[in-house]
Amino acid sequence: MLSNLSMKNKLLFTVLPLTLLIYLATVTLVYLSSRNSTEKLAEVAIDAIAKQQASEISTYFDVPLYSLRNTAGLFGSEMIEGELPDRRIADQMIESLIAGLPDAAAIWWIPRTNEVDGSVLWLRTGNRLNPALDEHRHALVSALRSSRSDHEQAIPLVPINMGNTEQKVIALTVPVLSNGVVTGSIGVGLDAGKLQERVSSLRPLEVGIAALIAHDTTLVAHPDASRVGMKQADSERDFLGDNVDVVTDAVRTGKNMTLRFEAPALSEEIFMLITPVAIGKTEFAWSLGLAFPSSALLGGVTTLAMQLLLLGTFASIALAVAVVVLGRAIAQPLRAVADTVKQLASGEADLCSRLPASGNDELGTLAREFNHFLSAMADLVFEIKGTSKSLQDTSVQLQEQSRTAGQVVDNQRDEVGQLATAMQQMAATIEEVAANAGHAAQVTGAGDDAVALGQSKVSGLVQAINKDAETLEHVSTLAAQLDDASQSIGTIVAVISNIADQTNLLALNAAIESARAGEQGRGFAVVADEVRALARRTHTSTEEVCASINLIQERTRTVVDIIEQSRRTSQSNVLTASEASEALDSLSQVISQVRDMSQQIATATEQQATTSDLLSRSLVSIADSAESASHSAADVNRRSDDLEASAARLNALVSRFKL
């Protein structure tokens, strides 16, 4: 999602939430730390306040208890065998004691024996001190009978009839000892209303409330006066909820306790501290309970958190403005880079454009490096442009050269075809020469037979001279034909020699062209070398054949001359058989030689036919190679056309950049 946002919005949506998150985490940490510290400080302060108030309440009870102890000592010293000798002594002491205790609403003496009649009760009504009526005294004795103890006691909310009204007092009793035996107790009744006013008016830390609870969980003083005298489990369940039993156990055992709970009646968190209150030498301590709303204790912390949040809001606004300004400062150079890159990618790339590169920050470095990149790109495109132009020119030259090479190869292919045709014709001629040579051999064989027959029939030579003359005439004709045939063979051999020279020249040209063709003409060069070798062998053979034919021609001429001479001699020397015989011998020898020469000519012509056939096959191979070279030249021509098109395309692409 962030990839679709601008740089400014990216900074705004990343830096601002992250900063807010860090700030909120810091505020939360400060709040929790301050809350814990404040709670601990509040607990310490509340504990100190509770102990101070408990000490003041204990002091409030210590003064009358101290007076009661002194009076109890006086009572014990006046007793005889555990009893006062006179009831008036008790009246005097009680009257004196109540006069010295202005907070006392009533003071009494209750003996262990004859407690109803021997008891004494004095009441304070306003500024007056009066002994109580017997019925009121009897009612007090009945009320305290269940609480009688050999120890000091603090009895909550004892009802005393003050005449016209009934008043609840806090009864403090001290045992009277005589010879170590408890003989009775004296007690003082402190106005419970005054203690209620004192405790209910307490406002610890200006937000707390206080309550005084007796060890039997009776509420002695409470902010809600209607709950005074009720048991804690009955009256405080709506306040303590499920914690009422825990608090009740702490009160009964006189233990310190701190408690944090959600008050059902108030729907808020309450911090409560229970502190024991020691009352004289009583066996059981009372408890002072202080309760505070946690929100009130942490009001300063909450205010601090709100102030920090408000400060964070203003700081976030300032940060957002700073991020927007910073985002614009960062985005403008980046936008310039983006616009330049977009222009480069649009097809009309101006490589001469440059970005403003002011400043030494990362954006300035980016602009300078981008300008260096554009300069490098301009140099590269310039070199590519020159290279593409050179490549295009080279492709044109290669195209011309390949076209010329193709024409040369085509011409060479045609010439080789003509040469192959000529070689085929030469092979046919050589076969004909071979046939004629065979025929000449047969003729010379027949002549040889005829000479043998003439030698065997010398006796009939004279008679057959005419016939011999005819025969010689015929032989002369054949010799002339043989001379003509030898002349034809010489002509053919000259043609073969000329063809061999031309083949050698063509093979040399083919070798030169194959060398120009490079790797593709290597096979063609091998074939050209073989053709040249064959041409040399053909030339050598033709020279040998030519020499033989010349010899045959010379011998043939000689034979013709001899036959002519023999014919003339036979006509003039019919009678000379010996000369005829000798002439026949010479003729036989010549004919033998002619026969041998004819056989040699036949053999040479057969070899020439074989050579010409091999040369013909080589020329066919050369023609095939020339055809392949022609195809290769055409392929090179097509490749050069493609290369020229690619060079033109590259030149067109590079031309899009402005240098």
Residue 359 backbone zone (phi > 0: left; psi -120 to 50: alpha; other: beta): left
Predicted local distance difference test score (pLDDT) of residue 219:
94
- Secondary structure (DSSP) of 522-558: HHHHHHHHHHHHHHHHHHHHHHHHHHHHHHHHHHHHH
Q: Edge-to-edge strand order for the sheet containing 128-131?
A: 128-131, 120-125, 104-111, 181-191, 166-178, 153-161
Q: What are φ and ψ of residue 570, in 5° steps?
A: -65, -35
Q: Find out whether 449 and 638 touch, Cβ atoms under 8 Å.
A: no
Tell me the pairing of strands 209-213 and 219-221: antiparallel
pTM of structure = 0.45
Stretch 469-474: mean pLDDT, rounded? 72
Stretch 77-106: mean pLDDT, rounded? 88
Q: Find out whether 530 and 618 touch, Cβ atoms under 8 Å.
A: yes
Q: Which two tokens stand for residue 172?
A: 């403090």
Q: Find out whether 652 and 565 touch, Cβ atoms under 8 Å.
A: no
Q: Find out whether 528 and 511 touch, Cβ atoms under 8 Å.
A: yes
Tell me the pairing of strands 257-263 and 268-277: antiparallel
- 384 — pLDDT class (breaks 50, 70, 90): confident
Predicted local distance difference test score (pLDDT) of residue 23:
60
Tens of pLDDT, residue by residue over 612-650, are: 777 667 767 776 776 776 677 677 677 777 777 777 777
* 590 pLDDT above the threshold of 60: yes
Q: Find out whether 110 and 116 touch, Cβ atoms under 8 Å.
A: no
Dihedral sign from CA coordinates of 368, 370, 373, 379: negative
Predicted local distance difference test score (pLDDT) of residue 506:
79
Q: What's the rounded Cα separation, in Å, for the pair 176 and 152?
A: 10
Q: What's the rounded Cα separation, in Å, for the pair 332 and 95?
A: 102
Q: Find out whether 525 and 511 touch, Cβ atoms under 8 Å.
A: yes
Count of Cβ atoms closer than 10 Å to residue 113 Cβ: 10
Q: Find out whether 108 and 124 touch, Cβ atoms under 8 Å.
A: no
Residue 166's DSSP bridge partners are 161
CA 20 from centre of chain: 30
Q: Exposure string (b/e) for 354-372, b if CB count within 10 Å is 16 or more?
A: ebebeeeeebeeebbebbe
The average confidence (pLDDT) of the chain is: 78
Which residue did the predictor score with more confidence, 229 or 471? 229
Least Cα distance to 71 among 96, 49, 103, 37 occurs for 96
Q: What are φ and ψ of residue 80, in 5° steps?
A: -125, 120
Half-sphere exposure of 480 (CA within 13 A, CB side): 6
Q: What's the rounded Cα separation, in Å, for the pair 106 and 126?
A: 12
Predicted local distance difference test score (pLDDT) of residue 348:
59
Predicted local distance difference test score (pLDDT) of residue 410:
73
Q: What is the crossing angle of helices 362-456 and 299-345, to 10°?
A: 40
CA angle 258, 262, 267 (to 5 degrees): 140
Torsion of CA 556, 562, 565, 569, to 10 degrees: -150
- Secondary structure (DSSP) of 240-268: HGGGHHHHHHHHHHT--EEEEEEETTTTE
Q: What's the rounded Cα separation, in Å, for the pair 382 and 262?
A: 84
Tens of pLDDT, residue by residue over 141-191, are: 998 988 888 999 999 999 998 877 889 999 999 999 988 899 999 999 999
Residue 71: which H helix or E strand, with range? helix 7-78
Place of tokens 């100190």: 48
Lowest mean pLDDT among 27-41, 192-206, 504-518: 27-41
Which residue did the predictor score with more confidence, 360 or 195? 195
- 362 — pLDDT class (breaks 50, 70, 90): low
Q: Which two tokens stand for residue 536?
A: 């040399």
Predicted local distance difference test score (pLDDT) of residue 341:
67
Which residue did the predictor score with more confidence, 108 or 383? 108
Tens of pLDDT, residue by residue over 33-65, are: 655 666 676 677 788 888 999 999 999 999 999
Q: Find out whether 65 and 152 touch, Cβ atoms under 8 Å.
A: yes
CA 625 from centre of chain: 59
Domains along the chain?
A: 18-297 (3.30.450.20), 409-618 (1.10.287)
Q: Which alpha helices (DSSP H) does 79-191 contain, by range?
A: 87-100, 115-118, 134-145
Residue type at position 297: L
Residue type at position 507: A
Least Cα distance to 156 among 215, 112, 208 occurs for 215
Q: Which two tokens stand for residue 278?
A: 């020691």
